[in-house]
Structure formats: C-alpha cells, structure tokens
Amino acid sequence: MPNYRRLGRSGRKLKSDADAARGSEGKGGKSADKGGKAGKDGARAKDARRGAFARALKSDPAKRERDKATRENALARPREETWLAYRPDRVKKYLTRYLDEFIFDEFSDTYLKKSKLTDFMQGVPVPLRKEDKEAFGSENGLAVKIIGENMARIIGVDPKFKYAEAYMKFLEHIMGKRACEMFAKEGRREAVSDEYDASLIHFRAGLVMNPIDMACMYGYARTCRALYEKSDDESYIGDFKAEAFDYFEMLTELHPRYAYGWYYLGYMYLNMGLYQKAHLAWESFLPLPRNNPKDRKEIRNRMKQIQAPMLIERGYNDILAGRWTDGLNILEPFTESSYKEWWPLWYYLGEGYLNTGRREEAKNAFTEALRFNASHIDSMEELIAIYETEGNAEMVKKYSNKIKLVLK
C-alpha cells in the first residue's frame, strides 16, 4: 500500500445526505451529469431495452421484498457462507486489476472536523483515480459523489479491504439508506450495456453494505451467469457458475416470493442434470406475482420436456439407494428411446446389473457407457473388477492403461 500524505487544504462542506444521494444518481447538476438532457435521454433509452435482464431488474423490484427479509432468514446460514466480507471469495481475483486505477491520500483535519467525519475517517486513506488528485487537493475539493464511487469500487473489488468498514460508514453518511438501491441501479445500467465487470463491482459493493439486499443479490447472480456464459476458460466458468448458483439459491431462501430467483435457480439445476430439483424450483416460480407471461409459458414447456429425464433421474437415485430392481425397471425402457446415447443411463444400468448378479449385462452396459463417454473412469474401474474376477489379464491391462492416459 502506498504511503499516504495528508493534504493541507481547507475543508469543504459535504452536501446534505439528500443532495449527495441525488448526485450519485447523476442528478446533481452540470458537474454531476455533463451530458444534461441528452445524457439522461441516453440513460433512459438504455434502461428501456427489452432484454430479459432489463425487464427483470427494471426500476427497483427489490423494494417491497427487501423489507420482508427477516432476521431469522438472514441467519439461516452462517455469515461465513453468505456475506461477501466473510465467505471465501471466488471472484475477487478476476477484479483486483481494477485496484491499480487508484492512488490514496487523506482528508485534512480541518475537512474532517467540518464534515463531522473525524470519528471514522481519521487516518483512513481516501481512494482517488489519478485524474481526481488535482481536484482533491484544490480549494473547491473533489465532488463527494466521486469519492463515494471510488470507495464503492474498492469494496466491490475487495470486500475484505482493511478500511471497508470506514468506507461503508462514509457511504452511509453521504447516501443514507439508499446506498444499496443506488448500487443496484448502477449495476443494472452497466449490465444492460454489457459492462459486466463494472456491474459486478457495483452489485458486490451493495452486498457489502447489505448482504441480504434482494436487488443486489439477484443482479450479482445474473451478472455472474452472464460472465460464465461468454467465457471459454474452464476455471473462470467454474468459479462464476458456482457463485451464481450460490446466490440464486440464497436468493430463494431469503426472498422466496421473488419469482426470478426460482426461474434461474431452475435453470442452474437443469444444467447440473438435477431435473427433479429444476422441476420443483419452477413449480415455485409459476404461481408467484410479477413474472412475465412469456416466461411462464416457457417454463411450462420446459417442465413438460424434462418429464423423461426426471424419470431417468429417479432410476439413478434408486440405483444409488440400493433399490436395484426398481432402478432397472425404470431405466431399461430408455435403452430404446432418444435417451439411449446418455452415458449415465448405461453406467447406472451396469451398476444395477452388477449388483443383481447379471455380470454379462453389466459388462455390456459399462462398455456402452464408454462408447458415449470414453474417459469415464468409474466405468473402466468396474470393467477392471469384472475382468479380474474372470481372470482376463489382457482386458484388465487394457482398461488400466486407458485410466492412466485419462489421468495424465
């Protein structure tokens, strides 16, 4: 961290909380909104886009639901799982480069005293972009909303930042209770414009301020989803997919009457092959208010489409629970269906056959599983065990070598 020096400038009075709040939304006059009417019209045009993201986050859909999140709900999980400031952070490493934009300085003692900030900002470094430095040291000072935005970006990138608590108090001082609402609004605007990293940072800043804010939880999960869908990096996809899943799941726990938490959680389950959970999530989505008729129609169609996969999943679960015959009775008919190329179908059939003494059929089933997924180690290991029992050293060697190749 750089060395900080305190600027010896005269203190500039902070705007009132209400004025500062208006300024943060780009309504603080010419200095806050250079574009004037044209800038506002452009922002309105972006907000009016008809994409799903814009519809789902339009206005502040969280307002009513946010107030319903009870303390009991908030404590349903330990904060080490739910609060960005305490939970393991999968996303920070992809954002830390944005910290290089900042240098740090401090408020003068005079300014702190006049602005009534001494209690929590004394000795606290103030983040500045390089272009902010001259204004910060000038007689007129730097607009307080710019300082607040810089602090929001710092805690959005690094929720565990050493001075995060002081920054939160400063943001509350200038924005009052509307901080999360403002960050959600800005995050939504950036997401609609495909500025996903900036959107992510604002939603994260909101979640540092209030870990159960519905708009920020939803926006953060949606932005994580958008980011992993446009990536080809497996590690990146894994991190953002896990983060999106966690937040959609927590959203449905904390705000169960918000329809689109269930909508997207259902799709997360679907992509994980958890068809019964997807169906249950969508059953929760359909009767809720504020969902789009087109989305309801889409989900009803999806629920019809996954009837067969749900039955196959039930067969898998029977096999896993040792209900061999029940599982086989469910799964066997699908070997002559459009699902016959699903490798898990053959693998679980193999397990069922093996545990009911039908060794040859098990052998054929595991071989079929490998035809559709040549690197499935569990199927190879089962075949090795069968061939060892039969004393077939050649086939044992064949599949043992295949496993070595896969694990290289």
Q: What band does 73 get if pLDDT is binned at 50, 70 and 90?
A: low
Q: Count H helices, E strands: the chain?
A: 24, 2
Alpha-carbon span 292 to 75, nearest angstrom: 31
Distances (CA, A) of 218 to 139, 159, 246, 251: 42, 18, 11, 7
Query: Are 125 and 163 within 8 A, CB to CB?
Result: yes
Give backbone dihedrals phi and psi of 54, rounded to 5 degrees, phi first: -65, -40
Query: Are 137 and 7 within 8 A, CB to CB?
Result: yes
Q: Which residue has the tokens 């999806």?
A: 302
Q: What band does 80 get if pLDDT is binned at 50, 70 and 90?
A: confident
- With a CB cutoff of 8 Å and minimum separation 6, the contacts of 14 are 20, 115, 117, 144, 173, 174
More confident residue, 320 or 67: 320
Query: Are 265 and 297 within 8 A, CB to CB?
Result: no
Task: Residue 223: name the closest of 201, 242, 254, 196 by CA.
Answer: 196
End-to-end CA distance of the chain: 42
- With a CB cutoff of 8 Å and minimum separation 6, the contacts of 72 are none
- The percent of residues above 90 in pLDDT, for the chain, comes to 76
Which amino acid does the sequence have at 348?
Y
Query: Are 266 and 281 within 8 A, CB to CB?
Result: yes
Q: Token pair of 386, please? A: 């069968």
Looking at residue 267, what is its pLDDT? Answer: 98
Length of the chain: 408
Alpha-carbon span 154 to 99, nearest angstrom: 7
Q: What band does 288 get if pLDDT is binned at 50, 70 and 90?
A: very high
Tens of pLDDT, residue by residue over 161-186, are: 999 999 999 999 999 989 999 999 99
Q: Which residue has the tokens 């459009």?
A: 338
Can you list the domains of the chain with their CATH numbers?
Answer: 17-30+52-256 (no CATH), 307-407 (1.25.40.10)
Looking at residue 117, what is its pLDDT? Answer: 95
What's the rounded mean pLDDT across residues 198-210?
Answer: 97
Q: Choose the weakest-confidence range: 63-77, 283-297, 379-393.
A: 63-77
Q: Choose the weakest-confidence range: 37-41, 225-229, 294-298.
A: 37-41
Instruction: Say whether pLDDT at 69 is over 70.
Output: no
Instruction: Say whether pLDDT at 371 is over 60.
Output: yes
Looking at residue 76, what is its pLDDT? Answer: 64
Q: What band does 77 get if pLDDT is binned at 50, 70 and 90?
A: confident
Alpha-carbon span 220 to 241, nearest angstrom: 12
